[in-house]
Amino acid sequence: MYKTKAYAAPSAIAPLAATTISRREPTDRDVQVEILFCGICHSDLHSVRNEWSEFMATTYPIVPGHEILGRVTKVGAAVTRFKPGDRAAVGCLIDSDRTCPQCKAGLENFCPNLTLTFNSPDKHLGGVTYGGYSDSIVVDERFVLRVPANLDPAGAAPLLCAGITTYSPLRRWGVTKGKKVGIVGLGGLGHMGVKIAHALGAHVVAFTTSPGKKEDALRLGADEVVVSRNTDEMQKHANSFDFILDAVSANHDINAYLNLLGIDGNLALVGAPAKPFAVSAFSLLMGRRCLSGSNIGGLPETQEMLDFCGAHNITADVEIIPIQKVNEAYERLLKADVKYRFSIDMASLKSE
């Protein structure tokens, strides 16, 4: 074991503060990564405040962070894909059973025995896993990703959650040139959805509640922008979409979007509103429409996404902050006051 600096929350109501945690020394198959940047995902905040207690209660202290971008500092003897000095990334999961049908299919994100990057039982040290708000992390090579050299590291960090969360459903449901695709919500997830759908060649329509975001949506790659509160504007797009990615976590009327789908159109949810949706059967019956969901992605697809983003030079739009501003950033996240993701410059942790 070795000691490393981190930022942790000691309880659901306490702010995050500097601390020291233990990591394992790299075993034969492990890669040790010095963390350069870590994105702030809304699930960090949910976990810190124990807001998802009914399906994954938080163990304290918690070190969140699963959008990890860094540099390899040490590798075990059996590691073949990385050497010290390489760029590397770690996303939402760091282990799985590797034997179940999902793991064999490269869908480790749906493994019943997966180990999340933070707040999961730690198989090596006991206790729980600690995430990316830290100087370094040690992860089995299978769960470490390669990062194209051209990508800006601060902006590439959020690809590990926001990027794969939007890339996976866009790919899964065949978004390509000639398809009309809607992206609902222009936050951390939605802005990635617009960029990736555009790069896939689709005709992209961004839906937003704020008219002020129109210019920005066009800049991000949208072909059209619809202010969703304007029913006339919405009606113009009725029955016309092949696919809609709904990245909104606030409660909203899903039927308004289902009715925009064409025959066999599909609306995939990647946001998680607190209240259940009220789905009108007719919204699905008419046009044989489909309502679906998606959750991050497996390791092969996450690598594919990073390579795709490298080829198209796609990163998240980020506001870089020092770790000392993380509590303030959480408050701003609650007000959606960020364009479009916070990325923590982990060099700031060295002064703690």
**Site mask, Zn ion, residues 152-171, x = CB under 5 A?**
---------x----------
Among 7, 21, 26, 43, binds Zn ion (CB under 5 A): 43
**Site mask, Zn ion, residues 13-42, x = CB under 5 A?**
----------------------------x-
**Count, residues near Zn ion per rule CB under 5 A:** 8
Nearer to Zn ion, 75 or 321 (CB): 321
Cα–Cα distance, 139 to 156 (Å, whole number): 19
Nearer to Zn ion, 103 or 299 (CB): 103
Torsion-angle region of 7 (φ positive above 0: left; ψ -120 to 50: alpha; else: beta): beta
Does 109 bind Zn ion (CB under 5 A)? Our answer is: no
Cα–Cα distance, 71 to 334 (Å, whole number): 31
Shortest Å, Cβ 108 to Zn ion: 6
Shortest Å, Cβ 101 to Zn ion: 8
Segment interacting with Zn ion, rule: CB under 5 A, options 98-106, 130-138, 223-231, 335-343 = 98-106
C-alpha to C-alpha distances, 141 to 26, 89, 157, 323, nearest whole angstrom: 10, 11, 18, 27
8 Å CB contact between 43 and 59: no
Among 97, 215, 253, 331, binds Zn ion (CB under 5 A): 97
Cα–Cα distance, 133 to 149 (Å, whole number): 23
**Of the candidates 228, 170, 208, 178, the residue with the CA atom closest to the CA atom of residue 339:** 208
Cα–Cα distance, 320 to 25 (Å, whole number): 30
Output DSSP code: residue 279.
-
Please measure the distance between the N-terminal and C-terminal CA atoms of the chain and give it in whole angstroms: 21
**Site mask, Zn ion, residues 258-277, x = CB under 5 A?**
--------------------
Does 117 bind Zn ion (CB under 5 A)? Our answer is: no
Nearer to Zn ion, 290 or 336 (CB): 336
Shortest Å, Cβ 112 to Zn ion: 7
The values of phi and psi at residue 151, to 5°, are -80, 130
Cα–Cα distance, 135 to 145 (Å, whole number): 18
Nearer to Zn ion, 40 or 254 (CB): 40
Segment interacting with Zn ion, rule: CB under 5 A, options 13-21, 96-104, 173-181, 342-350 = 96-104
Cα–Cα distance, 90 to 314 (Å, whole number): 18
Q: Residue 250 is encoded by which pair of tokens?
A: 């606030």
Does 100 bind Zn ion (CB under 5 A)? Our answer is: yes
Does 103 bind Zn ion (CB under 5 A)? Our answer is: yes
Cα–Cα distance, 204 to 193 (Å, whole number): 9
Output DSSP code: residue 300.
H
Does 299 bind Zn ion (CB under 5 A)? Our answer is: no
Shortest Å, Cβ 342 to Zn ion: 12
Among 111, 139, 157, 314, binds Zn ion (CB under 5 A): 111
Q: Which residues are near Zn ion by CB under 5 A?
A: 41, 43, 96-97, 100, 103, 111, 161
